[in-house]
């Protein structure tokens, strides 16, 4: 069985690939566990001096696997508590590790996929990429660090706009808002991210780590907020709004709240 998250390390650069292309790299329990495993391996390996995170196939990550959530029925709360524990621990590891982390965003990043973009130190997107938070569109609540990191990246009002209206940002808008650092042709995303990672891998890793620690120390509280996110999305998935929102999305109809 293929791994849901692939790790390749070469010349100091770790490439982490979300590997559920047939499901738009939606986050399920297996992927959550494997993402944490890979994050810890990158964090512990002194030979990893830069990290690139990308998605297999056409899309970066559609966020949570809604069909898998719907299948859990009344046990979805416990399922999401466990899933977010794995994913949030992975995000913490990527955010705190000494090596610079670069998101190479291909296609769509939605929901928790936007959180994986936010956790990266830098982000490069393809010209055709799109970004959508999507949570309230299906009656759920933010997770994957979005309620903490997104306002700090794009500002409070813009974060609220994205979270409340579920509007989709184009790659150029994401660049203008500061969600990504660079927009390139779609076919060049991974190559550009790897080139930047190679530059970091040849640079002063401890100096980069010091920069990351100082930025982190100036704005503590990520882990506590992610713990609150996990509880909130688990509770919302059991609420009638969450049940109806997910069901309506999967049935391709307008939700009735």
Q: Which of 28, 65, 88, 121 is an active site residue? A: 88
**In the annotation, is 59 catalytic?**
no
Helix, strand, or coil here: 35? Answer: helix
- Catalytic: which of 28, 65, 121, 143? 143
Buried b (16+ CB within 10 A) or exposed e, 64-74: bbbebbbebee
Asked about 71 being catalytic, the answer comes back as no
With contact defined as beta carbons under 8 Å apart, do 185 and 127 qualify? yes
What are the start-end ranges of the H helices in the chain? Answer: 29-44, 66-71, 76-96, 112-119, 146-154, 156-165, 171-177, 189-201, 205-217, 222-238, 240-250
Q: What pairs with residue 16 in β-bridges?
A: 7, 53
Residue 66's alpha-carbon distances to 26, 58, 79, 98, 134, in angstroms, are 8, 19, 12, 33, 12
User: For residues 103 and 124, is the Cβ–Cβ distance under 8 A?
Assistant: yes
Q: Residue 60: CB partners within 8 Å, gap ≥ 6?
A: 18, 25, 54, 103, 105, 106, 107, 108, 109, 113, 116, 117, 129
Q: Which residues are catalytic?
A: 88, 143
């Amino acid at each position: 069985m293929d791994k849901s998250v692939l790790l390749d390390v070469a010349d100091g650069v770790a490439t982490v690939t979300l590997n559920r292309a047939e499901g738009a790299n939606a986050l399920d329990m297996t992927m959550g566990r494997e993402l944490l495993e890979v994050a810890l391996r990158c964090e512990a390996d002194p030979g990893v001096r830069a990290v690139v995170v990308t998605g297999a196939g056409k899309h970066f990550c559609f966020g949570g696997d809604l069909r898998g959530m719907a299948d859990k029925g009344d046990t979805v709360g416990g399922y999401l508590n466990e899933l977010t524990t794995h994913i949030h621990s992975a995000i913490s590891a990527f955010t705190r590790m000494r090596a610079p982390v670069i998101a190479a965003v291909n296609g769509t990043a939605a929901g928790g996929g936007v959180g994986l973009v936010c956790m990266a130190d830098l982000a490069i997107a393809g010209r055709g990429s799109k970004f959508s938070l999507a949570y309230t569109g299906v009656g759920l609540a933010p997770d994957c660090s979005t309620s903490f990191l997104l306002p700090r990246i794009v500002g409070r009002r813009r974060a609220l706009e994205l979270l409340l209206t579920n509007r989709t940002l184009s790659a150029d808008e994401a660049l203008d808002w500061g969600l990504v650092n660079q927009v390139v042709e779609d076919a060049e995303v991974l190559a550009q991210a790897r080139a930047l990672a190679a530059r970091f891998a040849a640079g002063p890793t401890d100096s980069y780590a010091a920069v990351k620690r100082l930025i982190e120390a100036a704005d503590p509280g990520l882990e506590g907020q992610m713990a609150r996110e996990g509880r909130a999305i688990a509770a919302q998935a059991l609420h009638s709004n969450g049940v109806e929102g997910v069901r309506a999305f999967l049935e391709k109809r307008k939700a009735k709240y």
